[in-house]
Amino acid sequence: MPGKYYSRELTRLDQLIVYPADVTRLDPAKDDDLSLLLAFFRPHWPEVTREDLLKAQPTWEYFAVIEDGKIISFAGAMHMTMENWEIAGVHTLPEYRGRGLAKGVCAAVARHILEAGKRATCDTRRNNTAMRNVMDAIGMVRQSRKKT
């Protein structure tokens, strides 16, 4: 019986399939970036504060596609271990789905991770077909480690 997670990785830049998207790296220490992040997170995480985002920053990096002054697609790079950083927190606003934005932002995060000399990983539940499609589309392959 297969596990409940679908796990993929990228270890080399030449594996990465890039999708065009105007992706910005955000810094919650900057007021404009902080405002964008808070506006994006608060519908799902109402109590999030500036301090939460700053405290998470040593292990989280924030990337987004911004249109008309708001984040429409988001992904983070989460520093899991010294070797592995995970593409995490992927979300595209419903009215912007189907435009390849998640592929673009995830590919940008994967490039950032690989250029830092780390292995890019991503885990999602097996029933999350949209994220599975994104992972496969950007060239991620089955992970060598098993997760159940």
Which residue shows structure tokens 């592995």? 84
What is the structure's pLDDT at 44? 87
Positions of the chain with pLDDT lower than 50, given as ranges: 1, 146-148
**In the sheet where 23-26 sits, what is the strand order?**
23-26, 60-67, 70-79, 84-92, 119-125, 5-10, 141-142
CA pseudo-torsion sign 34, 35, 37, 43: positive
CATH fit for domain 5-142, picks 3.40.50.2300, 3.40.50.300, 3.40.50.10790, 3.40.630.30: 3.40.630.30
d(CA 98, CA 101): 8
Q: Is 26 helix (H, G, I), strand (E, B) or coil?
A: strand
